[in-house]
Every structure is written in structure tokens, then in C-alpha cells.
Amino acid sequence: MELPPHAQGRRSQLSQDVASYVRELIISGRARRDDYLRIDTIAKAMGISSTPVREGLLMLQLEGFVKLVPRHGFRVVGVEPQDVLDIFWAQGVLAGELAARAAMRASEDEISELEALIEAHSRAVAAGDEPSYTRLGHQFHRAVNLAARSNRLANLLGNMTKQLPNQFYGKIEGQIEGSLEYHPRILEAIRGRDAEAARAQMVEHIVSGGDALVQYLEDQGLWAEDRESDAGA
């Protein structure tokens, strides 16, 4: 039976929700390398049917987080420090190009919006309001991407950013400090119509965020158990 469009849309969103949920389990270390993920267990935890769970896990297989093993199920491949750095490098390349285009195309109103977002973000950080400064940090990047007027490139970047859970960004001290340092620099480059400076600052900002996340995950002991197992093998 062919599903009506709205039902199909809901199932697609559920699959993406599953991918986000399991991706977070893997990045946080709650699902370890070589663990097997049970579809019925995930479905029960999320209160959904098994079909979107399987579809979500297949999405994660394409991203390299899990592998479908015949007659066994989905096995966690895990994520290594270099994997995280590679994801941020790729994001940086795309975000840098968007920032360069924003420097050439942003309107004065868009530049004023970026300035307002930076000021609001700084106030939220000073107040220790994590939900607000996390949201405002994302809004700054989204505003830069919109100012670039390159929808397809922005969509590619959006797909890349989905590979790492948003919840980590507000918990990484280096990422917060990096935003306070780099966002004003990026704005000044855009305001000055300096495309190459905007690109360089954005790439450096994103890549430094990857370094901060790897350090955070190291401190959380994400890879300690795997290294002990490798050493004892």
C-alpha cells in the first residue's frame, strides 16, 4: 500500500530522529565500538515502530557510524578522533566558501543582523545562559549562510552538520570561547567585503571547534576503553 504524502513525511522525519538519537549514543560513548544495536530496543526507547528505526540505522551506515552484519544486525563502528576532525574540516571548507560569498553579497540589513546576534550571544555567555548562547551561535552561522545566497551549498553544509549532535556545542568551553573570538572577526571581514579574510576566519573557527570537541571527548574518556582493548589484543 502506498502511503499518503503526509504519512511518508512523518516516517522520514522519524528516521532522521532515530539517526540523531543513535548518533548521539555513539558520540557520547554510551554505544561503544562493536556493540550491536537492537532495533526493537531502540523502537521501545523512542516509542515508535521498528520501520523508521531500521531506516535511521541505514542512514547511519551511509555515514559510517554503524555496519549491517548479515544475521546479526547493526554493529557500532564507532568514531575516532580523526573522524571528528575530518568532519569539521569538511564543514570548514563549505562554511568558509559561504562566508566568502557573504562578504561579497550581504546587504547592510544582513550585516546589522549579524552584529545584533553577536551582541546577544555575548550577553548570553556572560549570563551563563547555555540554551540561549548555543541557539544564538547557530543563528549567527545560519545568517552568514543565508547572506551568501547559495542555497545548494548551504544545504550541503547542513547535511554535514547533522553528523555531530548539537548538544555538545554548548558544553565545550573552547567552542564558546572560539565563537566570542571568531564571530566578530568574521563580521568585520564581511563588513569590509574581504572575501578571503572571511573564508580564512570561518575555516579556522570551524576547525578549532573540531579540536575543542576532540579534547572534550578525550576528557570524557570516549576512546580510553577502546585503546585499552587494542593494547590488550
Rg for the chain, CA atoms, rounded: 20
Structural element, H or E, at residue 164: none
Q: Which residues contact 195 (CB under 8 A, 6 or more apart)?
A: 100, 101, 103, 104, 189
Give CA–CA dist 145/194, Å, rounded: 16
Instruction: Give yes or no for a contact between 114 and 224, defined as CB atoms under 8 angstroms apart.
Output: no
Give the tens place of pLDDT for each residue, 159-200.
888 777 666 666 666 678 888 999 999 999 999 999 999 999
Backbone dihedral angles phi then psi of residue 144, each to the nearest 5 degrees: -60, -45
Instruction: Give yes or no for a contact between 171 and 216, defined as CB atoms under 8 angstroms apart.
Output: yes
- From 160, 75, 146, 152, select the one nearest 117 (Cα to Cα): 146
Grid coordinates given for 184:
566578530
Q: Which of 18-22, 58-62, 197-201 is modeled with the greatest confidence?
A: 197-201
pLDDT the model gives residue 1: 38
User: CA dihedral defined by 141, 24, 156, 125, rounded to 10 degrees?
Assistant: 0
How does the average pLDDT of the chain come out, rounded? 87
pLDDT the model gives residue 174: 66
Give the tens place of pLDDT for each residue, 99-149.
999 999 999 999 999 999 999 999 999 999 988 988 999 999 999 999 999
Give CA–CA dist 208/138, Å, rounded: 16
Above 80 in pLDDT, residue 53?
A: yes
Give CA–CA dist 99/203, Å, rounded: 9
Confidence of residue 229 (pLDDT cuts 50, 70, 90): low
pTM for this structure? 0.80
Percent of the chain with pLDDT over 90: 59
